[in-house]
Amino acid sequence: MTTAVAPTLVPPHGGFLVDRLVPDGDAEALVVEARRLPRLALDAREIADLELLAGGALSPLTGFLGEADYESVVSRLRLADGTVWPLPVTLAVPEELRGTVEDAGEIALEDGNGRLWGVLAVTALFRRDPLVEARFVYGTDSAEHPGVAYLLSRPTLLAGGTVRVLPLPELPFARFRLTPREVRARIFAKGWRTIAGFQTRNPIHRAHEHLTKLALELTDGLVLHPLVGETKGDDVPAGVRFRIYETLLERYYPKERTLLAAVPAAMRYAGPREALFHALVRKNYGITHLIVGRDHAGVGRYYAPTAAQEIFDRFRPEEIGVAPLRLDPTFYCRSCATLASSRSCPHEAASRLELSGTRVRQILSAGEALPVEFTRPETAEILRESYGYSAAATKAPAPGKPGDPKGSPQAVRRDGPGFVLWLTGLSGAGKSTLAEALRAAIGPERALEILDGDEVRTNLSKGLGFSKEDRDTNVLRIAWVARVLARNGVGVVTAAISPYREARLAARRLAEENGVRFLEVHVTAPLETLVERDVKGLYRKALAGEIASFTGVSDPYEVPESPELVVDSSRETPAASVARIVAALREADLLPARAPDAVRALAEVAA
């Protein structure tokens, strides 16, 4: 399937915009077809690639690379037909599935939570040598490089073929997650002919702002196009970054000449190859110029500073179709008292205020403030909140002394970033018991609040009934309060039935789009167990038809499709459940390292 595009816009790579999404009317047939197929769980990068394939961001690709295209891309940065393409887009298959896949000829593609995304018609099964691929693509075979480490962790058997993708589920940042067709439509409506794209996986500081505004001087419009796919663990979370982007665009950019959209691509840290890849992807979104700074998509010291800019010189401009804006890094010069680059500033490096991402994280982790010459106060405050500090606790250092705490008041840490832990499940499943056990286990170590659904209904939602609309309203009120608390560094545990999937997704979006981590825990137990626990006899009355609109009996409870955790209170003790939840919070860096062992804490409380 291909889609024609407006003639005034830059053509997609390959000439046509690929569309691998099946129409809504055909989705159920594809689901039925997938039930008879072997199922393959894709990892986060592969899911990101599948989403990009579905909407045409990877045009002219219609699926994962076959052997001829793979070999050609790895060795000469072109598909087998000669089209420029710098990165292999591949699908790894466990060896034990090989025979099943060969017999079936197709694979049902699902994510790690078992959600079906689509079907791959397999045209090739072949092996890669991960070290050879690493040397070509990353310029190294060192496992310390995150891209190489990923390759070495995956199966060597690859499946190539064309994909058909189901209509996409509701995903984080949905209002910004625009497809290439949608971005092109907005560009066309604005009347832009030349469009600068800014690729970023970081917050925008003053230097980035300066570069984007230089690009606005040269083009009709700017598409701020940050990644929301998988990045390194120490990168700033996408929710935090989007709060910064929205704030800066609202206050400091011309609204009629800017557009904020998200790219669901995972970072590969492939340096120059990835810079070219980013350019071709942006071309598919209708972008004509991409800002390419030094060490674009780099990591560590694996690539020369200008390699990402120089790779464009290896190809004819018409082969790429999008022009790089080769801008030098900018910095604040104390002697010039303004932003400058090495091309415009004559002063020594000692006069420059330049902070690496690592140094920024060190300053924030120490509770210090970022210099106002480096970043706008709004950006600094959002970052401080994400690190668990209040604005009043920090004071900006004197100009030219980044991170110098002398003369500043001692910063007050809020024990880590805020979060929302959403416990959902039927009445009697154990949500409130689990919430109180969590308070006992981790409450002494950090700010923690519990929002109980019944208490919120009594104190904040008085007058609401039990219709679907009223239940959803109650859930959204809980979500709003949880978001406010979490943004201020508080860990929030909610204990509410929250029976409807869409309302829970809305609660997740409200948190994540404001930079707050959201973890859903489905607390469950068999109906017979719930009946036995019910001292008021409400379940028996509902089963006898004496109570209307009783969730789980006469009203639906929509089971979460992809919760972070499932807790069966009929099979494990509260202590065991808390231990698993605490482990998940630690894994997500939402609890301090000094947090006590959950099981021991519960034992001490019980004693």
**pLDDT score, position 536:** 81
Which of 396 and 119 is assigned the larger pLDDT?
Answer: 119
pLDDT band at 598, cuts 50/70/90? very low
Mean pLDDT of 169-182: 89
User: 419-606 maps to which CATH number?
Assistant: 3.40.50.300
CATH number of 180-327: 3.40.50.620
Q: Which one has a higher pLDDT value, 436 or 592?
A: 436
Contact 570, 529 (CB under 8 A): yes
* 3-class DSSP assignment, residue 534: coil
With bands split at pLDDT 50, 70 and 90, how would you rate the model's confidence at 416?
low
Q: Taking 70 as the threshold, does the pLDDT of residue 495 lie above it?
A: yes
Phi/psi at 35 (5° precision):
-65, -25
Beta bridge partners of 552: none
pLDDT digits (tens, 9 = 90+) for 5-45: 555 899 999 999 999 999 999 999 999 999 999 999 999 89
Helix (H) or strand (E) holding 27: helix 24-34
Please tell me the predicted confidence (pLDDT) of residue 229: 72
The pLDDT of residue 398 is: 42
Contact (CB, 8 A) for 5 and 17: yes
Helix boundaries (H) for 444-548: 453-459, 468-487, 501-512, 527-533, 538-543
CB 397 within 8 A of CB 471: no
pLDDT bucket at 412, cuts 50 / 70 / 90: very low
E strand residue ranges, 16-92: 17-18, 39-41, 63-64
| pLDDT value of residue 388 | 62
**pLDDT of res. 3:** 58
Q: What's the mean per-residue pLDDT of the chain?
A: 87
> What's the CA gap between 601 and 603, in Å, rounded?
5
The answer, yes or no, to whether residue 422 has pLDDT greater than 80, is yes
Catalytic residue, candidates 498, 554, 562, 569: 498
pLDDT tens, residue by residue, 309-324: 999 999 999 999 999 9
Inter-residue contact 300 to 140 (CB < 8 Å)? no
Taking the C-alpha atoms of residue 227 and residue 138, their distance in angstroms, rounded to an integer, is 20
Residue 361 has pLDDT above 60, yes or no: yes
Query: Can you list the alpha helix ranges (DSSP code H) found in 59-179?
Result: 67-76, 98-104, 130-138, 146-153
Residue with more model confidence, 474 or 322? 322
What are the DSSP calls for 393-457, one per residue?
Answer: G--PPPTT-TT--TTSPPP-B-SS--EEEEEE--TTSSHHHHHHHHHHHHGGGS-EEEEEHHHHH
What is the percentage of the chain residues whose pLDDT exceeds 70?
A: 89
Per residue in 388-397, pLDDT (tens digit) is 654 444 444 4
The Cα 577–Cα 603 span in angstroms is 13
163 — pLDDT class (breaks 50, 70, 90): very high
pLDDT reported for residue 463: 73
Confidence of residue 402 (pLDDT cuts 50, 70, 90): very low
- Condensed to tens digits (0 to 9), the pLDDT of residues 552-597 reads 888 899 998 889 999 999 888 888 899 889 888 887 878 765 434 4
Residue-level pLDDT at 233: 56
Contact at 8 Å (CB) between 148 and 597?
Answer: no
Enumerate the domain spans of the chain.
Answer: 2-165, 180-327, 331-393, 419-606
Per-residue confidence at 599, pLDDT binned at 50, 70, 90?
Answer: very low
Q: Do domains 2-165 and 419-606 have the same CATH topology?
A: no
Q: How many helices (H) and strands (E) does the chain have?
A: 22, 20
Helices (H), 231-367: 238-252, 271-284, 307-310, 317-320, 357-365
Second CATH level (architecture) for the domain 2-165? Roll (3.10)
- Whole-model pTM above 0.75? no
* pLDDT over 80 at 607, yes or no: no
* Inter-residue long-range contacts of 546-549, CB under 8 Å, 24+ positions, other chains counted: 549/466, 549/467
Verify whether residue 570 is a known catalytic residue: no
